[in-house]
Each structure stands twice: as C-alpha cells, then as structure tokens.
Structure 1
Amino acid sequence: MLLLDEAAPWHADGHWQRMDAATAAIDGPFAALSLEALAHNARSMVARSAGTTLRVATKSVRSRAVLDAVLRLPGFAGALAATLPEGLWLSETVDDVLVGYPTVDRAALRALAGDERALSRVTLMVDSLEHLDVVDDAAPGHPPIRVALELDASFRLWPVRAGVRRSPLREPERLRALAEAVVARPGFTLVGLMAYEAQVAGVQDARRRGLAPPVVLRTMQRLSVAELRERRGAAVGAVREVAALEFVNGGGTGSIELTAADPSVTEIGAGSGLFGPHLFDGYRRFSPAPALAFALPVVRRPGRGCVTLLGGGWIASGPPGPDREPIVAWPEGLRIDPQEGAGEVQTPVLGAAADRLALGDRVWMRHAKSGELCERTDVLHVVAGDQVVESVPTYRGEGRKLL
C-alpha cells in the first residue's frame, strides 16, 4: 500500500540519479514513480486549492493503487472517470465516481441499472435529452440514475474561440431548461453540474502556443476567468432553483487557484499535477515535480555523439507537434534526433553525453500527458529514497484499458 502521508520531502537535486540507482536491477523499457515527488505534488495541489475539494481525474493517473493512495489524503475526494465501464470498475472501491463524458455504452448502462451499489456511487454526465433517451432505450424501466449537467466553459470573443468543444449548453437559461426536463423525467436524479475551463486549466501561460505569445495567452485567460465566473455563477443559481445540487465541478491542474476562487464551484477536477508530465512545465503559478518517467536502455552506438534507445515513441494525444513527444530528462546534454523523432522500436538521441553511455545504460524520458504513459506499461516501479519499495499495476496491468 502506498502511504503518501508518510513520504519524505522531495528534493530536485539528485532526483534522476536516485531514480536511476534505485532501478539499476530492472531491465528497460520501464516506468518509475517517485513516491516523494508524488506526495510533493499532491500536497502542492491541496495547498493551491485553498480548501476546495479536489476530485481526482483518473485519466491522468490510470493506476488504481495510485488513485487509492491519493484519495486517502485530506483534500481529495471522489474520482472523475472518463468512461462508464471505467466508472463501474472504480465504483467497486471508490464511493463517489463522476463520469466526466456522456456515454452511449448500452452494455455498461444495463450493468449500471442492475448494480445497486454502482447506482449509489456513479454519476453520469449529460448535456441533452438525447443522452437520457440512450439510457432509457438501453435499460427500460431502470431505477433512478444520478446525472450531472455540463455547461460549456469555452471563451468566445469574436472571432476568437478558446477552449474545447464539449457541451452545447452555454447560456444559463438553456442549462435550467434541461435541468427542469431531467427533474420531470422518471428514472433520473439531478445531482451535479460541471464546467471545465480547458483554455485556462490546460494552456501553459509562460510559453508560446502556436503563434500566440504568453502575454496574449494570459490576457485571454484573465478575460475568460472573469467571464466564466459570472456566467457559471448565474448557471449554478438557475439550476439550484430546480434541484438541490450536491456538487459543482470545475477546473483542472492548471487552474486550481483560479477555479477555487469562484464561489459557485464546490470541487475541482485535477490529476495531471500528480505525475507532473512535461506539458505542465510552462505555468507561472506552479511547478510540479517530475514524479513519473520512463527509462529506455541504450542498445546501439551508431556514431560519435549518438546512441540509440530501445522504443520510446510514446506520443501524447492532441494536436500533433513537438510538444507531444517525450523529452530527455537525464543524463543532461542529450536531445532526441529531430530527423527521426521518438520511434516505435528505436529512438536515437544526440549530444556529447552520448559518448559517455555504454550499452545497457538507461536514458530517462518524460512523457507529455500524464496518465497516457500507463497505457504503455503494466507496472509502475515505486521509488522511495534510493530503492524500489513496490511495483504497482496500471490499468493495463490489471487487464483494463481506458479507451
């Protein structure tokens, strides 16, 4: 069992050397998780939330052992799952699971309708009457099912649109109308509301994004936070006139402080800050420790200033670009060969440090998006101090997959 509350303080100095020494007996490729860095990141997230509960975004973790460890910490409560099959599985041990995306999985809906424990623990996300129709068609005459509504939290200032394309419900009036329809419909209980401001939570404000310099991004985010605070507050007020909401979920790792300052929000969904992938290096408000990384063995020496690593093409989802590739973390002085990139079975790295590496030595890499690394490996080797103290399964290691 991982006990984060007993973890020692994390220190950046010597981090990679400790990770490498502790895992010296393990053949790569493999993934390793620093217990101290994970605990450091979890504590930092709680401090940033200033008393607002954090619901763990499970797609950014994808390991039940890690999820359970985080949920034992004060300040964290509940899981934000990506799919209903995942939510049903997690509900075996987690008593509050919000499925953050609508489902059309008929088999999973039937399973939910027939599982008394899951019915009390799992909440579905809906943003239209069609979603309710899917549930009714899949499980006719089902018992009351918990649902939450999603408000579109994107920022629009013509001709600019920033954010993600999720719910069609933007105006408080439309959200209230759907709330009234849900409450009037047999078989559903309205318990929550969600509004995810991806343009703040998921956009680094200290780095250029495409053609937009950081100052432009920060201006957009400042305007978005102000606009959403007013609109979300009005939407929550309108829906509360219809139903007694148990929760209002918002935000993400990149916006914890800003979302916590919104009085209409009761909880924040966040998970990426726990592992600290490199896409979260470019925020001004916080700096997570690189808790999770993967090590690739040196298998070739093609020439001076170059070694070839086994595997490594673990590219993150999202708009294709260099920021979706893994980056070299250690030894310092190495970079991925831009002509080949990170490859399916080999990744050449360049730099003077390559000449000091022998066959079998490891190069440590950081992935771009938090939990996606866990889809590439069965276990996470947990390092505390200078030794591996446990090896815990990922979803994949338990025979599961997220999508």
Structure 2
Amino acid sequence: MLDLTADQSHTDHGRSGAPRPDRHAWDDPARWWPRLTAATGHLPAPVAVIDLDALRFNAMDMVVRSGGLPLRVATKSVRVRSVIDAVLRVPGYQGLLCFTLDEALWLSEWHDDIVLGYPTADRAGLARLMADEQAASRITLMIDSLEQLDFIDEIVPPQQRPRLRVAIDADASWRSAALGHIGVYRSPLHSVADVAAFARKLTEREGFQLVGVQMYEAQIAGQGDQTGASDALIRFVQSRSKEELRERRAGIVQALTALVPLEFINGGGTGSLEYTGADEVLTEASAGSGLLAGHLFDGYRSFQPAPATAFAFDVVRRPASDIATVLGGGWIASGPAETSRQPRPVWPAGLRTMPREAAGEVQTPLQGASAADLRVGDRTWWRHAKSGEPAERITHYHLIDGSEIVDELLTYRGEGKAFL
C-alpha cells in the first residue's frame, strides 16, 4: 500500500508543523533523471513514473502552504485511486472534490465526503444517485441556477427521492472596470446579492439541502506570476483581485450563514494556498495539481513543487545529424493552444521540439544541445503541463523509490474508467 507518511527522515518543519522532506535530489537534473532511466530501462516506452519522495514532499508542502486549513483533494488532478487514498491518509487532507458524477458515484463506494466540483446534466447518474441513499448521503452536488434544480426534479420528483445535498458555486473572478472579466467563466452568481437571492429560492425548494459554497479563484490559483514579460501586470491584477475577493467572499458567507448553517466553505486551489489559507471565512481549500506537479507550476514565485511525475519516449530515428526523433510526444494539455500546454522534454538537458511540428501524434523530432548525441533506443524524459491528464494516456504509473520500481499504480484508465 502506498504510504506517504512512512519515511520522513531528512525533514525540517514548516510553520504549521508539517514535515518537509529534503528536496535537493530533484534540484540536480544530472542526478535525478538518469536514475529514472536506470530504473525503467528494461521497460518499453512510453513509460510513466511517479517518484515517491517527490510526491511525499509535495503532499507535505501543500499542507504547510495552506497554514493548517484542511485540504480537499481535487481528483481530476490525480486520477490514480491509490495516490488519492494515500494523500487522504496524510494529516491535513480530508474529502474529495470530484469532476464528474459518474466518478463521484464510483468513489462513493469507499469515501463518504465527496463534493462534485461542477454542475452535472448526467440523467443516468442522477437517477442512480437518487436511488442510492448511501451515495446521496456521501455526495454533494454543485449548482448555480434554478434551471439545474428543475432538471433534477424532472428526473425524480422530490417526494420520491432522498433529500439531495447541494453546494452553491459562486463566481470568484474579478470584474475590473479597466480590464474587464479577469478569471474563468463559471457561475453566473457573482455578487453578494446574486448569491443571497439564489440561496433564498433554493432553501424554499423541496428535496434539496444547502450544505456548502465553493469559490475557486482561477485568476490567482491558476496563473503563474513568474513566467515572462507580463509578470508585473499579472501580480498587480492578482493583488487587486485578492483584495476584492476577500471582501466579497466574506459578504457571501455572511449572507448564506444567515439563512442556513453551512458544513463547508471552500476556496483554492494549488497555486493560491497561502492566500486561501489566510482567509478566515474559509473552512477548507481544494487542491490537487500540486501533488504530481505539471510543469505549469514552474512559473510561480511562492512555491516550487517537486517534479513528482514524468514520462519517457525513446529515440527511433535520426532524420539529420542534429535531430533525434522519438516515438510519441503529443500529450498536449487542455486550455489555450499555446506553447505552455505542450509537454516539455527535460532530459537529456537542452532538448526542444521543432517550431513547425511541436509534439506530434506519433513522433516528435527534437533539436537542441544534446540532440546530436542521442542514438536509436536512447530514452528521453518529459513533463506534462498539467498533473492529472497524463493518466488518460496510460494504464499505470511505475512508483519509483530511490532507483528502484517498487509498485505499479493503476490509473483510472487502468481500472477501466474514462470519465471525461
């Protein structure tokens, strides 16, 4: 069984008292990446790994960064059940934030504190939920409109089902007079008045129980502030957004708790844990991307996660003396179709993709300082931009402890699940 609390030697302690493992190993690429090649050299590519020490460090570091605020694990950013279970055994973590109802129903067989982070229109899944009293008691649905409530009532009327646990998704974006909408487009409920009016109508509805509220500050948590020329503007926008959100969130919570007692008030995620942890109105934060740490998190000033996961492709041809081509490569991340969403070759050092081809569906040509030295069969290591999405490409990760493979960790795909 994967255990992230077993070996905590070489640690110091942060301000919350959580142990923080020594991170020097991954600061030395010439030591870190060849070790993975030695451990996996007998395996065919593509091969994906999770490093135990790096995962342990990230799990502990997130607890430290949140300042003791409990962390709800965002499962979309992991998609490996054994890792999710191991993280939940680390003090400071409690509950799951799932991304589809089908996933939540599956995980409710083992877990009793599940929040569905997004609204659902899954008729079959809702029918299953409402026919299962245990699942209905373990899963909280996310809503932001009366239309969603009507949709549920049309499937099974409130008189014929268990009372459903629901949470309100309130918009955390910043609406700037000069810059417009800053953040992502999620909930239509933005102002204190918006949320309060909706909550009053919700509490008058039969068959629903309001238990929580979620506000995800994407423009803070999901935007690096150490990425290039626009950093000064990003930091200014984030600073203003933090001030506005703290005041508005407090008003929303005050309005909701005047109507009903709330079980949880959720913020997050990984990129803003220091800010979230300092907000006294919150009872928890959701985070998950920082556990496996895609390379998008390399662009943050406030923290530097360890590269806990990576995958390898092998060289299969050399179309020119300064080009080596690997089989595979095109594991592109979701989001804007930009360079930042491409997987990044990290070892051997100095490799880069070709501007006109980038990371290919079947093969990827590489140039750079070490490309001329690569030969057919040589292994290259890559990092994905995001944390959970590589799991959709593979059936399992190889767990690395030191220089050895110590376990195979099935992904959702490896367990026969493909939720989204």
TM-score by length of structure 1 reads 0.97
Give the 5 Å matches for 1:311-390.
311-390=328-407
Letter in 1 for 2:289: S
The match for 1:56 among 65, 73, 89 is 73
> In the alignment, is the contact (CA less than 8 A) between 1:82 and 1:99 conserved in 2?
yes
Q: How many residues end up aligned between the 2 structures?
A: 400
**Residue 126 of structure 1: CA displacement?**
0.4
Letter in 1 for 2:285: I
* Overall identity of the aligned pairs, in %: 53
The match for 2:162 among 143, 152, 157 is 143
Q: Are residues 1:255 and 2:275 paired?
A: no
> In the alignment, is the contact (CA less than 8 A) between 1:55 and 1:78 conserved in 2?
yes
SS of 1:382's equivalent? strand
Moved over 6 A (4+): none
The residue aligned with 1:4 is 4
Q: 1:346 to 1:7 in 2, by over 3 A?
A: farther
Give the 5 Å matches for 1:276-295.
276-295=293-312
The residue aligned with 1:168 is 188
> In the alignment, is the contact (CA less than 8 A) between 2:173 and 2:184 conserved in 1?
yes
Q: Deviations over 1:121-142 (max 9, x none)?
A: 1000000111111111112222
Letter in 2 for 1:285: S
**Residue 7 of structure 1: CA displacement?**
4.1
Q: Are residues 1:23 and 2:43 paired?
A: no
The match for 1:200 among 220, 235, 242 is 220
Q: Are residues 1:70 and 2:90 paired?
A: no
> In the alignment, is the contact (CA less than 8 A) between 2:214 and 2:266 conserved in 1?
yes
The residue aligned with 2:411 is 394
Q: Deviations over 1:291-317 (max 9, x none)?
A: 111100111111212111011101111
Gaps of 5+ in 2: 9-20
Question: Considering only aligned residues, what root-mean-square deviation do their CA atoms show, in Å?
Answer: 1.1
The residue aligned with 2:210 is 190
**Residue 357 of structure 1: CA displacement?**
2.2
The match for 1:105 among 122, 129, 136 is 122
> In the alignment, is the contact (CA less than 8 A) between 1:16 and 1:330 conserved in 2?
yes
How far, CA to CA, are the matches of 1:352 and 1:240 in structure 2? 59
Q: Deviations over 1:145-189 (max 9, x none)?
A: 100001110011124221000000111122122212222211111
How far, CA to CA, are the matches of 1:76 and 1:34 in structure 2? 20
How far, CA to CA, are the matches of 1:6 and 1:329 in structure 2? 30
Letter in 2 for 1:201: A
Q: Deviations over 1:235-258 (max 9, x none)?
A: 001000111100011111000000
How far, CA to CA, are the matches of 1:400 and 1:76 in structure 2? 24
Q: Deviations over 1:83-130 (max 9, x none)?
A: 111111111112111001101111000100111211111000000111
**Residue 339 of structure 1: CA displacement?**
2.0
Letter in 2 for 1:180: R
> In the alignment, is the contact (CA less than 8 A) between 2:349 and 2:369 conserved in 1?
no
The residue aligned with 1:157 is 176
How far, CA to CA, are the matches of 2:134 and 2:322 in structure 1? 59
